[in-house]
Amino acid sequence: MKTIGVFDSGLGGLSVLRALLLEMPEARYVYLADGAYTPYGGRSAAQVTERAHRITQCLRQDSAVDALVVACNTATAMAIESLRQEHPDWPIVGVEPALKPAAALSRSGHIGVLATRGTVESERFARLRTRVESESSRPLHFTTQACEGLVDAIEHGDEATTRALCARYLDALRASAKTSAPMDTLVLGCTHYPFAADILQTLSGPAVRLVETGAPVARRTRAVLGLPEANTVVCGTPHITLLSTGDPTPLAQASARWLGTTVGAIHVDF
């Protein structure tokens, strides 16, 4: 049985873990929330990279995971290339805003992107955007918006603040558009944002399709591990270990709320 390590700055990576559980329910999972340093979106690239390397080393040595999923857009943008250089013999899968799937779905060619500032201002995001635009057979227009404070509101389960911030950033997204084409696709460019998908869908309207990255990441992880597609549904309690560098209680509560598990979380200090 394969063991897969998953980490995020906080709770948002549980949206990726949810997709992994659906894709590979038979695997074991070790999820680490870097609660002592969340959110990553407001931190420098040097800080995020240092944390990513420490977490990766600990998961590989202490938990003997067979592969690592960096379930954080900011950490992927800032650190995954150096992680792969340091661990060339080991599968490391990152997440990135789903610009290419969104481009395939959009009819108008106008795509909104909500993400952290660390993601939208990263060189990796700029390269991704340029590549998707250059590979498209038609003009595309991406309108991006950094969403300060939204991760914190989602993590704390503050629905009123989450709704207010979503409304503010969607208004800003529309106001900054440089095309008259209607925005018909919205990329959730942070792993926390799928947990606000109902709010975002209501505010955006039924004509806008929301796109997230969990399922493609799960399929990619299965492929790099060389695992076949599951032929049967695995019943019973999933094999999950939850770790947090901060208070472990919110992680256990979020797992119960978003994954339907009753797994206790353990505090780790590094």
Least Cα distance to 45 among 113, 119, 114, 97 occurs for 119
Q: What is the dihedral of CA 44, 45, 46, 48, to 10 degrees?
A: 90
Residue 166 among the catalytic residues: no
Catalytic, out of 72, 147, 166, 235: 72
Q: Where are the alpha helices (DSSP H) in 63-116?
A: 73-86, 99-105
Out of 58, 166, 190, 235, which one is annotated catalytic?
190
Judged on CB neighbours under 10 Å (0-12, 13-18, 19+), 216 is middle
What single-letter amino acid sits at 161?
T
Cis peptide before 39 (omega within 30 of 0): yes
Is 190 marked active-site?
Answer: yes
CA distances in angstroms from 262 to 10, 12, 61, listed in the order given: 18, 18, 26
What is the distance between the alpha carbons of residues 32 and 68, in angstroms, rounded to a whole number? 11
Written as one letter, the residue type at 234 is: V
3-state DSSP assignment of residue 59: helix
Per-residue exposure over 218-239, b if at least 16 CB sit within 10 Å of its own CB, e if not: bebbbeeeeeeeeeeeeeeebb
* Residues assigned a catalytic role: 72, 190
